[in-house]
Amino acid sequence: MNPDTTSAIDTGTPGANRDPRMPVLFVPHGAGPCFFMDWNPADTWTRMATFLKGIADTLPATPRAIVLVSGHWLESAFSTTGHARPGLIYDYNGFPPHTYELTYPAPGEPQLAARIVQQLEEGGQPARVDPVRGYDHGMFIPLKLMFPKADIPVIQLSLRRDLDPAAHIQAGRALSALRDEGVLIVGSGMSFHNMRGYGDPRYTPVSAKFDAWLTEAVESKTPRREALLADWASAPHARDSHPPGGEEHLLPLLVAAGASAGSEGRKVYSEEVMKTTLSAFRFG
């Protein structure tokens, strides 16, 4: 008789499978569809693209599903995509016509979306399923490089519009158990995101100092890590790196940190792009 291989995602029963524990990631998603178009200089995004393409080989197994938190979706309460076949939202402007024809037909997973909402609510965070929302470019641009076959179910999770740091850490905590069920949790944003700073050499030391602080915070033990990230706006050059009200590209990192469940954090990629330091982090 074959052993029961029904997954916990299907049954809603934690521990009903033998999947290896997944890490949690925070990755940069670049500038619009930058990886799929010509740029000047031509190699501006090459190293970042190479990093993203190499992530799958660093995982303990192919994920059963992906939960991706995008810096491009804000709602009054945490929301998940709930459609079985979400379309794409080309939420960037002024790029070449072919970049509006990019595809990423990854399936959704309505059962998992509903379960995530339940977990968030049990963790003290109001949440809802959005049955029609598609995938924005904070999702499909990096995942086209990370998992180009688009054959892994993806649930996209919004940020909360008030951008409250503690709430986003708490939301991550509520989802941490999914890691033991083969679910990869990914925060998609940018460690530096001040549009006025890109390409400006005055922001090179600014972004480097903030990145050094961010790295120290991520690499701290869990209680200190969460305390530092909850008060990230007090970091050196925090508001030069993420202007007031514009920290939506940093908040996915706080969700990822909350989901780390005590795992060690470390920087796994960093380089200077357009005169600013950009980094990626991994927990576990």
**What pLDDT sits at residue 18?**
64
Below-70 pLDDT ranges, the chain = 1-18
| Per-residue pLDDT tens digits for 272-282 | 999 999 999 99
Structure pTM? Answer: 0.93
**What pLDDT sits at residue 11?**
35
**What pLDDT sits at residue 10?**
43
Tokens of 205: 């030391």
3-state SS, one letter per residue, for the chain: CCCCCCCHHHHCCCCCCCCCCCCEEEEECCCCCHHHCCCCCCCCCHHHHHHHHHHHHHCCCCCCEEEEEEEEEEECCEEEECCCCCCECCCCCCCCHHHHCCCCCCCCCHHHHHHHHHHHHHCCCCEEEECCCCECHHHHHHHHHHCCCCCCCEEEEEEECCCCHHHHHHHHHHHHHHHHHCEEEEEEECCCCCCCCCCCCCHHHHHHHHHHHHHHHHCCCHHHHHHHHHCHHHCCCHHHHCCCCCHHHCHHHHHHHHCCCCCCEEEEEEEEECCEEEEEEEEC
**What pLDDT sits at residue 19?**
81
**What pLDDT sits at residue 261?**
85
Q: By the 8 A CB rule, do 48 and 269 touch?
A: yes
